[in-house]
Amino acid sequence: MKMFELQQWAEMHWNGFAEMQSDPDVMADLGGPFTRDASREKFDLYRNAWKTDGVSRWAVVDSAGAFLGYAGIMARHDRDHPLGVHHEIGWRFRRDAWGKGLATESARQALHHAWSILDVPEIVSYTAMDNLRSQNVMRRLDLRRDPRRDFTARYPRGDWSGLVWVAERPVAGANAQ
């Protein structure tokens, strides 16, 4: 039996997403819980990215359809971002879904999908220095650490420093899992 399914965003995911974004433990690396309005803005961004960019975060649901979290690729169009225009893989899960391999496996599927539709040499990931859980996921995904590209960015919630990891396009004919 399959542990989870990746789904494009739909309104049925909204309440689970908003609840996850309001959890202080889940949102600790981004300065704490998001309001429902801030969560709605992010939810709509993810949902609309499928139409505008052809990629986005996927909603991750369990076999009964309950929202567990998200994983996937976002096109970052901001030329003023410290990494410039790029594609980024990220994930976030409800606290009760942590430690079950969901982030690694759903991110692996999202990355595989992205390589099949995007013509880019790399996809980056970044996380806070103290977010060891995400760093472990990055290692399990075989992302390469690139300390030369670490950065600090100014966001509405304050400055945020990120450690950069890189997924390089698989070589044609190689196993692209």
CATH code of residue 66: 3.40.630.30
- Is 82 inside a domain boundary? yes
- Is 173 inside a domain boundary? no
Paired residues of 124 in beta bridges: 88, 166
Parent domain of 22: 5-168
- Is 177 inside a domain boundary? no
Residue 53, H or E segment: helix 36-53
The dihedral built from the CA positions of residue 160, 151, 165 and 57, taken in this order, carries a sign that is: positive
CA atoms of 111 and 109, how far apart (whole Å):
5
- Is 11 inside a domain boundary? yes
- Is 79 inside a domain boundary? yes
Mean pLDDT, contiguous 10-residue spans, the chain (177 residues): 88 98 91 93 97 96 96 96 96 96 97 96 95 95 97 80 95 62
Write down the pTM of the prediction: 0.91
Tally of domains in the chain:
1
For position 174, what pLDDT does the model report?
A: 59
Helix 102-117 / helix 132-140 crossing angle, nearest 10 deg: 50
- Is 71 inside a domain boundary? yes
- Is 176 inside a domain boundary? no
